[in-house]
């Protein structure tokens, strides 16, 4: 019951964040392709942020799937994650409106970094409660993606002051890295479920 409501609330917040972002796509005044082109930086930023939020929803979904006991610290670590994710539409809009100027690109990276850290904290807390033999511990394994991502965000933030396109390329790369299906993890979780169901 408790877990259901935590999931429902997180789903609600993520669904709203992902959809509210589209309000930054301001309707252009002209009616030709050129005026549509002025929306292009917004569109590209929107696609990137949409994918990031979708990845977070997806991973969050799998992680909470394994949780057995919802404690106060899980509730608050989850709120902390939602807080940083809720700022993504702002970061996306500032970056797009200024055609990927250095500081907005760096801020976008800081936002992604904070979200990654808060996700890591949430994961730590769940692991501490459910134990290292838990389903989640097995599923994550060495969590290489989770450890590389913050490092890459940090590199991108520094890069953005020299060449913001390199920073942008790193953001795209990290997104693609997560998009590639991590079949091993999914198998661990669902196999376990399956065998649990068979018992």
Take residue 27 and report the two structure tokens written for it.
């309707």
Using CA atoms in the order 42, 43, 44, 50, what is the torsion angle rounded to 10 degrees? 100
Q: Applying CB under 8 A, does 20 fall inside the site for a copy of itself? A: yes
Q: Applying CB under 8 A, does 44 fall inside the site for a copy of itself? A: no
Contact track, a copy of itself, 122-151, x by CB under 8 A: ------------------------------
What length is written for the chain?
199
Kindly state the smallest distance separating residue 149's Cβ from a copy of itself, in Å: 19
Contact track, a copy of itself, 147-176, x by CB under 8 A: ------------------------------
Residues 6+ apart with CB under 8 A from 32: none
Q: Applying CB under 8 A, does 75 fall inside the site for a copy of itself? A: yes
What is the Cα–Cα distance from 20 to 168, expressed in whole angstroms? 22
Among the listed residues 30, 95, 19, the one whose alpha carbon sits nearest the alpha carbon of residue 11: 19
Kindly state the smallest distance separating residue 80's Cβ from a copy of itself, in Å: 9
The angle at the Cα of 87, spanning 48 to 53, to the nearest 5 degrees, equals 35
Dihedral sign (CA 148, 149, 154, 159): positive
What is the Cα–Cα distance from 71 to 94, expressed in whole angstroms? 36
Q: Tell me, what DSSP letter sits at residue 27?
A: P
Select from 19-27, 114-122, 131-139, 140-148 the region that touches a copy of itself (CB under 8 A).
Answer: 19-27
Q: For a copy of itself, which residue of 37, 40, 101, 165 counts as binding (CB under 8 A)?
A: 101
Cβ neighbour number for residue 155 with a 10 Å cutoff: 14
Select from 82-90, 135-143, 151-159, 167-175 the region that touches a copy of itself (CB under 8 A).
Answer: 82-90
Residues that contact a copy of itself, how many (by CB under 8 A): 58
| φ/ψ of residue 27, rounded to 5 | -70, 125
Q: For a copy of itself, which residue of 41, 44, 79, 145 counts as binding (CB under 8 A)?
A: 79
Where along the sequence are the contacts to a copy of itself (CB under 8 A)? 1-2, 5, 7-9, 11-20, 22-25, 27-28, 31-33, 36, 47, 50, 54, 57-58, 61, 65, 71-73, 75-76, 79, 82-83, 86-87, 89-90, 93-94, 97-98, 101-104, 107, 179, 181, 183, 186
């Amino acid at each position: 019951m408790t877990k259901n409501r935590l999931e429902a609330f997180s789903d609600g917040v993520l669904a709203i964040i992902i959809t509210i972002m589209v309000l930054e796509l301001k309707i252009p005044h002209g009616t030709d392709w050129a005026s549509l082109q002025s929306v292009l930086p917004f569109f590209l930023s929107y696609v990137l942020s949409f994918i990031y939020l979708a990845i977070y929803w997806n991973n969050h979904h799998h992680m909470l799937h394994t949780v057995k006991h919802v404690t106060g610290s899980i509730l608050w670590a989850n709120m902390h994650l939602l807080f940083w994710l809720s700022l993504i539409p702002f970061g996306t809009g500032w970056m797009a409106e200024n055609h990927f100027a250095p500081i907005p690109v760096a801020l976008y990276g800081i936002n992604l970094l904070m979200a990654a850290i808060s996700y890591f904290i949430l994961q730590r807390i769940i692991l501490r409660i459910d134990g290292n033999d838990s389903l989640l511990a097995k599923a994550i394994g060495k969590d290489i993606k989770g450890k590389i991502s913050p490092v890459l965000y940090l590199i991108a933030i520094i890069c953005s002051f020299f060449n913001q396109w390199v920073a942008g390329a790193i953001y795209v790369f990290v997104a693609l890295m997560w998009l590639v299906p991590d079949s091993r993890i999914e198998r661990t979780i669902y196999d376990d479920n399956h065998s649990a169901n068979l018992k």
